[in-house]
Structure 1
Amino acid sequence: MCMSVCFTAWAKVELTMHESVEVYLGDSAQIPCQHSFTDANNEPSFVMIQWFVRVAGNSSRTRIVYADKSQQMVDDNTDYSGRIEVTSDEQGTRLTIQEVKLSDEREFFCQVNGLAAGNAEGKTHLRVFAPPEAPVIEGVLTGISVTNEAPSRVASCEVQNGYPKPNITWYRNSVPLMPAPGHVNVLTLVIHESNLYSVQSTLEYKVTKEDKDAHFSCEVSFFVPGAIRTVESSSLNITVHYPTTMVELWKESPQGLVKEGDTVELRCQGDGNPPSPFVFNREQEPYVDLDSNGDVLILSPVTRKDGGIYQCHPLDTSDEIKGEVQLTVHYLDPAVVVPKDSEFMLKGEDLTATCNALSSLKTSTVWYKDGRQVGKGNTLHLKDATYDTSGEYICEVTVPTLPALHTSGSVHIIVQGGPQLLGGEQEVQLEEAAGRMVNLSCEAQGHPLPSISWSIIGSQNWHEVVNKANELVTHSVVSVKVTSDISALCNASNDMGTEVKAFSIKAIPRLTSAAPFSPAEGSGVIIVVIILCLLLLAVLGSVLYFLHKKGKIPCGRSGKQEITKEKTTKDDIVVEMKTNTKNEEAVLLKAVNGDKKGPNGQ
């Protein structure tokens, strides 16, 4: 622990240092020296700081370093040359000692000299600590007789290389043993070597019969910076020799409760030593000796019939001296589920399932479906069954106080009913561009497993692309080409009913956009148009020339009147632009041959 002490000289300098600084052996130690000048208006321009150390073995001291604001000088030929450093800040100065040694445990002085501003000095006691090694305990190898009049050597404990000197305390069953004449003696040997302490402690103890199960241990306590720490050794049991007056029988293994199938080890021990041979029997069969191995009786594997009171008797004493133990073998019978195996239900029905397992202990039952807990307790209630109710239900029965005991059972629930379409609406409205392929999906569940058929009006181009099923669900997908408005029906059916899903597809005419113009393509189109125009003019000129030769187109006034008359007839010469080649030929032939019929020529 560190305590601060203030030093004031001439009422001009205030200096504060810790009374002590504690550090582990080998670590770095920092000793602060805080100082301030009481006259703030007269801060000195030069401050000299010197550090001194008390010389081991006498009251003199030696300077180890001095410093001012501009430099620091470490004194040569001291124990601290090369191991110390001084740093300064607004609060003062700090001495750092590297790789602290045990010999560094001494007083360090800080001297501050501000010339006319005043000077002061303080000191700090550096304390060094070296934790010892863990304690090592050793017990006597021979037995100790209760008939010995004086305390007998029981165990020794040794701890090495600590500083300051560690202390050893003895314990019996975690209770401290204090020296008591004629009962407890503690012999201590201290070895001081290389400035470190090693301590050896020997326990002499007068044993009694009660010490046969006692455990002895030692604890080392030692100082560390700011605290006291303790380390306890392992414990040991001593062998006590005394006449047999009592026998004890206990279950050695397994630890805790025993269940069917375990291997049970019963151990018998008398309070006499050396121990007498033992015989084992059950209380209900006192004259039937059980096969044993010395002081151990092994039962493997045990059943509930092996439960009862077991006894052991030492052969060298009367039958009244015996040990007894009650053995209880716990059990858990296989789970019985009602209904068992498989059970059929109709949609909407209710069902109650039970799961029971006979046990010697209180049980806990949990129901699971698809790895998810769906119920707790012996009874499972299924209400308003749906297809999601179908599946395997597993009941797991456990014994909370004996987790190794567990069993399980199951029942498979099958929900029967008509088809049930999955995936949302039963009427689906769609719009799609003409010429596109559309996939229509239909999924139905039920038991028996439904079949799916399609009825499609408005398109002959369709085919089924998916047709798959599992235990409960049938899935079908058809691909339909949209050529016009389409009505499609998905029919899901089984022996218990039918369900229909309707699809209405409105065909949208596909819009085509003009191709972008390019100079190369434009030139080709212009050339084709020009050629067609020239051919049309050539044909028209030939027709007119032919009609003129035949006199069909007279010149002068009379011709003009004839032409005018022809325009009033029913069958005029009509020139039309049509895509049908036969119509074009008919118009041309009509123009060539003429029409001599009158308005009533038909």
Structure 2
Amino acid sequence: MAVRTASFLLFGLFATFHTWGAWANMEMNMEDRVEVYKGDTAQITCMFTSSEGIGGTIIQWFYVTGTGEKQKIYYQDSMSQIVDRATQFTERISVNGTGAPGRVVLTIRDVQLADETEFICLIKGLTDGASEGRTKLKVFGTPDLPTIEGVQTGISVSEVSPSKIGTCEVKNGFPKPNITWYRNNTPLQSVPDEVEVVPSVTSESSGLFSVTSELNLKVVKEDKNDEFYCEVSYFVPGGTRMTETHRINITVFYPPTAVNVWVESPKGDIKEGDSIELHCKDNGNPPSSIISIKRLEENDIDGQSHESDVLVLNNVTSRDSGVYQCTSIDSDTFEPMYGNISVFVHFLHAAVVTPQDTIVVAHGEEFTATCNALSSLKTQAVWLKDGEVVFKGHTLTVKDATFDKAGMYVCVVTVPEIEEMETRGSILVNVKGPPEILKPDNTEIESYDTTVDLSCRVRGFPAPKIIWSTSDGQDLEMASEMMTEDGLQSRVSIQVTSDITASCNASNDHGTDALTFNIKTQGSGVIIAVIIICILLLAILGSVLYFLYKKGKICGRSGKQDLTKDKSNKDNIVVEMKSDNTEEAVLLGVNGEKQSPNEQGGAYLDVQK
């Protein structure tokens, strides 16, 4: 009995591990499983050996129903091949092969999800007995691309329990797909009170599965920059595949821990005259809406407050320098938080020139002037005269003062570190000494008019007194007098009828100077000359007209004209002249030939052509 039991056990183990069964000399071999996509064609192969040959072999195919029963779908012997009616495979199966080589293939077309079951191949021989093999058919459906949807509202870190982050969904897969949540490339697993992953599976009417997974998380401030996504894994023939959703972020609400206040503009150093724009914001999310900026006055921490997160100060001065404080009130706890910033306005006060306004220095002596301006930064100065730089530095020193060095000196003070910071001051330098008249280019004047304008520019300090006079002892009345930086400029108008001399006489406490203009009149002599020339021209014209009249060239009279001359002489002009003593003049033709008296044609001026 023990031997028999052992034999049955060995036989059972042999059948289990090699997936075949055998009675007598019948042996069979089949695959454990065949995998195929939904809608494709499946082929299940049954291989066997028999000592009887095919003639006495019966082939049958079965499938296992949902209740575990065997349902025959095909029968074949040496005489017939029969597909069983009224099964789910009746119209979609065929069997290939007669069994002669020991190989039979069951083909199933348009495989459906319900076809996933176990198929049985049964081979019977007349003397070899029967052998049975089994193969499981696995059907796969590729799911749609997964989707992810994050919550649109913000999540507060103060929430006691985990809050919903988002939902992932994958539809129409078979077998059931799996969803895994990731945060920054790290998979998330359920952790009590911190992470909750809630899956749900829906069986569609098509037999496919749709899977939804919801992630709930107790957020912290650091989650504000995290990326969340889902990975979907699903089975395919021969293995598994994976696909991912796009990444999402969540909005995390958290209380502030600090308050920031800064100068938005101008960027860099601030100078007087600028407009300052101060901004204030706490680092909470969302930022507090209860916020204000004020300047902390010395010994007064309750300075005037500006209820806004932006404070604008226009045309600032150094008095606007100081500490500005931003106050933020937490809208949940109503606890205040503070942030401070120091604002410094660089200044450059008005330039101060010493001596002030005006300085008087004797001719040939030395003078010094200083120019400074109170500033928050280092300054530099230059001195200008007549728009040109004459000295660089805060102290101007001029030796051997002359009238050329008298005038207005302008001091320009600037701050090299900040552009456009500039201030100016000035000083008027008077050089005292005897008058000096600036001689014009020409003092010899020829006048064709009856009025002559003269100008005289005099340097000297004190301002000289100018008197105009003429050579006949008359004083002239000035037309105008104008002060200049170094003296006076005077103008006169003189009525002239003849040559005259006019003098500009300048004097002050230190001496005198004079300048003489010689004026020559040109108008009367020219007129007389023109009249004489006109009279002479009229006399000559009258004589010519009278002569022509006498000769008959005008008023209807004609002279003697020889019409018998050859054409070759038409260009000869002959003039005959006789004096009272009948002395004959030699007549020459145009070509210089002498002509006889007979050819003269009388005592007339003949023109022969």
- The TM tier, using the shorter chain, reads 0.3 to 0.5
Q: Give the TM-score normalised by the residue count of structure 2.
A: 0.39
The structure with the larger Rg is 2
Q: Give the TM-score normalised by the residue count of structure 1.
A: 0.40
